[in-house]
């Protein structure tokens, strides 16, 4: 049971290049999230998905696109990378999507992206 796996873990891009981050979970979770974390800013939600084929914008969606073609995968794309997108990106999946008090997010190990 791998949990949540992110690839790649490190990447250096030049301004204007494109790339895709892959998040894969094997826990059959409905909800998946992409966050970015910057010093002093905490985790900020980029996009999220409440199920296969659905996506929604979070707090900081500009410059990113996502897709959830399969339940287990949530892809984050940068079409034209900018230095402001230098960050650590975390993917997470949620155990439940009901209204119970259980809300443990399972995170990937993070992807460190540098845009020059």
Report the interface residues with another protein, using CB under 8 A: 31, 33, 35, 40-45, 48, 50, 56, 90, 94, 97, 99, 101-105, 107-110
The nearer residue to another protein, 69 or 100, going by C-beta atoms, is 100
d(C-alpha 111, C-alpha 87), whole Å: 8
Q: Nearest approach, Cβ of 73 to another protein (angstroms)? A: 18
SS3 60: coil
Q: Are 33 and 12 in contact (CB under 8 A)?
A: no
The nearer residue to another protein, 52 or 80, going by C-beta atoms, is 52
Q: Nearest approach, Cβ of 116 to another protein (angstroms)? A: 21
Q: Where do runs of H (alpha helix) occur along 1-116?
A: none
The nearer residue to another protein, 63 or 112, going by C-beta atoms, is 112
How many other C-beta atoms lie within 10 A of the C-beta of residue 43? 16
Q: Are 33 and 93 in contact (CB under 8 A)?
A: yes
**CA dihedral (101, 98, 111, 38) positive or negative:** negative
The nearer residue to another protein, 11 or 17, going by C-beta atoms, is 11
Q: Nearest approach, Cβ of 72 to another protein (angstroms)? A: 18
Q: Nearest approach, Cβ of 101 to another protein (angstroms)? A: 5
């Amino acid at each position: 049971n791998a949990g949540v796996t992110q690839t790649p873990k490190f990447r250096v891009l030049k301004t204007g290049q494109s790339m895709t981050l892959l998040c894969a979970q094997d826990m059959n979770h409905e909800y998946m999230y992409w966050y970015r974390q910057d010093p002093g800013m905490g985790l900020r939600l980029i996009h999220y998905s409440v199920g296969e084929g659905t996506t929604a914008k979070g707090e900081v969606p500009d410059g990113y696109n996502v897709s959830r073609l399969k339940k287990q995968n949530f892809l984050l794309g940068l079409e034209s990378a900018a230095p402001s997108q230098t960050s650590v990106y975390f993917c997470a999946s949620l155990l439940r999507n009901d209204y119970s008090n259980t809300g443990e997010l399972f995170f990937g190990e993070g992807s460190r992206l540098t845009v020059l």
